[in-house]
Amino acid sequence: MNHTCEKYKPAQAEDVAHVLTLLEAIRPITPDLKEEFYEHAITLELQEGEHLLRQGERCHHMYFIRKGALMAYSQHRQKQITTYISVENEFVSSLSGLYGQQPSREAIIAVEPTLLVGVYTDILLGWYDRYFDLNYIIRQVYENYYRDAQERSHVVRIGNAKERYLYFVKSKPGFLDRLPMECVASFLDMKPETLSRIRKQSPSTLDAQEANNLLRKAAQVMHETECFKEKTLKVQALAERLGVPAYKLSWVLNTYSKTSFTDFVNQYRIAYLKEQLEQGEGLQNFTLEALALEAGFASRSGFYKAFRKAEGISPRAYINSMQSMDK
């Protein structure tokens, strides 16, 4: 790796807890393995344009993207080819040089400021020998990655430029605005000018009435099913319930509601939590964090951040103001 040891720091407990929460959405983790995660996990911060790995180097860590985005690319005949793009809540490592067994055929670079939580691969391999639950989880992670890679390969080889664009909007909802145009264009094997032109055209055929009908239907589903309580709810899952493509739902939320899918879901989680608090029995039977988990938040830090963004104050400040009004 091109990083000195000084760049790696012991991971913060809340960052490790966030990773464990997402892993446990796949399968429960034993207490012993959790302790080892807290003991051995490290963090690494990258600035935009800084390499995590250069082509030809060996990768000795498996990383989880706590925040930010990374792009992997290879140089071939003086052409840079983007092989994958990964964003927060995804795992990343060298695919061609996994576990440091051979030089990596791709470089990995941060396309925006990025915080990574990592584990040294020798430690990870030892965990595989001792913990079945981790074997199962990582197998699911790899299966999901290769399933996505196969779909992308099919779309890029068979689909036209517009179909490739719609594939990206569907698979990476909300990320087209934050990633460099050149990066996304290379990933989809098209010129930046082509991507820009298609982006302006799609899906402009959806009129305001259709968009508002879709938003009303989405709100109805959220209220009736309380699917916001699902910690791993994705735009694809809600779109499937609505009977529309995921890219269309994402586009309507971004364009007409001026919100991301995550913020859209979080507003229902926060409304549910506030309702529990206003009933007066919520904090008597549960902690605030327990109520947040019941409402669908995957972590304490994610809940606090979302609440402050939506309400302008912290959850504790909101409770204090509510209690003072009751006196």
Q: What pLDDT is attached to residue 85?
A: 87
Burial 251-279 (b: 16+ CB within 10 A, else e): bbbbeebeebbbebbbbbbbebbbebbee
Average pLDDT for 23-51: 94
Between 252 and 52, the higher pLDDT residue: 52
Burial 11-38 (b: 16+ CB within 10 A, else e): beeebbbbbbbbbeebeebeeebeebbe
Q: What pLDDT is attached to residue 325?
A: 65
Of 248, 239, 240, nearest in space to 169 by CA: 248
Q: How many CA atoms lie within 13 A of 311 on its CB side?
A: 22
Residue 3 confidence class, pLDDT cut points 50, 70, 90: very low
**Statement: residue 201 has pLDDT above 80:** no
Q: Would you give the end-to-end CA distance of the chain in angstroms?
A: 60
**Statement: residue 204 has pLDDT above 80:** no
Q: What pLDDT is attached to residue 118?
A: 95
Strands of the chain, DSSP E? 9-10, 42-46, 51-53, 61-76, 79-87, 91-92, 107-120
Q: What pLDDT is attached to residue 281?
A: 57
Q: What pLDDT is attached to residue 312?
A: 86
Asked if residue 85 lies in contact with residue 69, where contact means CB atoms within 8 angstroms, the answer is: yes
Average pLDDT for 294-305: 90
Between 269 and 179, the higher pLDDT residue: 269
pTM over 0.85: no
Is residue 132 helix, strand or coil?
helix
Distances (CA, A) of 197 to 185, 226, 242, 269: 12, 38, 28, 37
Strands 9-10 and 91-92: unpaired
pLDDT, mean over the chain? 85
Average pLDDT for 141-151: 80
Q: Which residue has the tokens 């576990």?
A: 99
> Using CA atoms in the order 251, 252, 257, 262, what is the torsion angle rounded to 10 degrees?
-60
Contacts (Cβ under 8 Å, ≥6 apart) of 136:
26, 27
Q: What pLDDT is attached to residue 83?
A: 83
Is residue 21 helix, strand or coil?
helix
Residue 309 confidence class, pLDDT cut points 50, 70, 90: confident
Task: Output the furthest CA–CA distance in the chain (Å, rounded).
Answer: 73
Between 49 and 254, the higher pLDDT residue: 49
Residue 26 confidence class, pLDDT cut points 50, 70, 90: confident
Per-residue pLDDT tens over the stretch 95-139: 777 777 889 989 999 999 999 999 999 999 999 999 999 999 988
